[in-house]
Amino acid sequence: MTQVNAEHMDMQDDILISYLLGEASAAEIKQVDLWRREDEACNKRFEEFKLLWETSKNPEDKQEADTQASLKRFKEKLVKRTVTNTRVIKLKQRNIWMTVAASLMLIAGGAWLYYNQFIDHQVRFETRGIVKTDTLPDGSRVTLNKYALLRYPEKFTGNQRNVTLVKGEGFFNITPNKAKPFIITTGKTTIRVVGTSFNVKNKNGLIEVIVETGIVQVTNSWNKVMIALKPGEMALVNPQTGKMIKLKTPDNLYAYFRSDEFVFKNVTLYRLVQALNEAYGSHIIIDKSVSKNQIMTGSLKTKDPLDVILNVISIVLKIKVEKTSNLIILKK
């Protein structure tokens, strides 16, 4: 037989005692009244409680002492009895808790299912002062230049493979899948491919897309204009006007962060200086005394310090390199 522990009576017992003592709150009174009307067994248990309480009173005891003495006797009787009806109520309470537990498990299971099937778990692929390469869930490879941020899902679902280039530059080598095109969103530009390799740069909102292999569709959300790029072609999207233009790729300097070298053939000094400023975060300017359109061919290692590279340029072009606090000036 299950016995009630008088020292740790359950909450229902405490509420009943408060009710019988006239100390229950309005909410507790309402709770007891509803409970009594809920089931005959509940009302029967209440009557047993009431009878035990009445028989525990001693007419000779006074006020507070009377209450304390009555409570002591009541608890002793409660411990000694074998409560068939109470056991029934306990079983019912247990069933209620089992129902609640089962409901919670169903809710938790549903939440887990929803979270895993419908919530887009995003991976944050970010670079600081170094170049990094990562493999996406579909096997595509992405190399991010310094200070870039790409977000992509842990798993590609649906009929597209969607990623977001938040900032910076990256080279994408996409695993072919005609049934599930690869979509890159960057700024207000969308790039759509099936299986190809291309370079994307988002610098201060200016979007640059350069294609190495395959065909890439670039759409600009300002006016929904779409252009298709083939190998050796590039697109530029102006963030202020939304204007998009297609050009021939002028050189291979954009690939320096992947190849670890600047490879240039018939490239102007101005273009080489642009690449150096981007790679080293420097501020090199060309003085009016030096022609910025003079043609250069060669290769330079990106791992070499900027001073070494500038020294090579100064020797080849027979110019001087002048440094100030925040500028590097190329001059005669």
Beta bridge partners of 173: 141, 197
- CATH architecture of structural domain 122-248: Sandwich (2.60)
Q: Of 92, 146, 88, 157, nearest to 120 (Cα)?
A: 157
pLDDT at residue 95, rounded to an integer: 59
Return mean pLDDT, the chain. Answer: 82
pLDDT tens digits, one per residue of 49-88? 777 767 665 544 444 445 566 566 666 656 555 444 444 4
pLDDT tens digits, one per residue of 217-270? 999 888 888 999 999 999 999 888 889 999 999 999 999 999 999 999 999 999
Q: Check residues 73 and 150 and name the one with the higher pLDDT.
A: 150
Where exactly are the structural domains of the chain? 6-114, 122-248, 253-331
Query: In the predicted model, is pLDDT for residue 18 greater than 70?
Result: yes
Q: CATH for 253-331?
A: 3.55.50.30
Segments of 11-148 assigned E as strands: 122-126, 132-135, 141-144
pTM above 0.75, yes or no: no
* Those residues with Cβ within 8 angstroms of residue 27's Cβ, 6 or more apart along the chain or in another chain: none
Res. 6 pLDDT band, cuts 50 70 90: very low
